[in-house]
Amino acid sequence: MTGRGAGIGVTLGYGHSAELIASFSLPTKTKDAQRTEMLGPTFAALICSTFTGRHFRVEGDSSYVMGLLGRQYLPNDMFLFNCLELIRDLLGAGKFIDPSWIPRANNSVCDALARQAVLTAEPALVIYSPLFQQFEDVWK
């Protein structure tokens, strides 16, 4: 894996519902774990900004990043701060993402997708909701 960083993986769901929309993963060049983890919710916000819904959930296994999104922590560097600002700008008024921390053991799909993304240097995707199957080609 020389020259590659890490894969980001994030699962996107509907607000307070248990229903999931999709799990995404992208390869990155950065080796900084916190920065890599922050790219997942930033990517999710970009996707959510195109939806008509208002309330979404992002699942991730980084308690620090989920805490940043939930405003439990302050960012410790400018990159993380800028990602948080970008997320707020992308979502705009009236649209929001609830962060949901899940243990890594329960995040096996995203973990596998992140590994696949790093090994192949290609994005990886699993769509759960039939309502979003039409976006498979666009999201890949």
Q: Indicate the helix (H) or strand (E) that contains 68.
A: helix 63-69
Question: Tens digit of pLDDT for each residue in 9-22?
Answer: 788 888 877 888 88
Q: Which domains does the chain have, with CATH numbers?
A: 12-129 (3.30.420.10)
Confidence of residue 139 (pLDDT cuts 50, 70, 90): low
The answer to whether 33 and 122 have CB atoms below 8 angstroms apart is no
Reduced to 3 states, what is the DSSP secondary structure of residue 92? coil
How does strand 55-60 pair with strand 7-14?
antiparallel
Cα 4 to Cα 43: distance, rounded to the nearest angstrom: 19
Q: What percent of the chain has pLDDT above 90?
A: 9
Question: Tens digit of pLDDT for each residue in 41-90?
Answer: 888 888 888 888 888 888 888 888 889 988 898 888 999 999 999 999 99
Q: What percent of the chain has pLDDT above 70?
A: 93
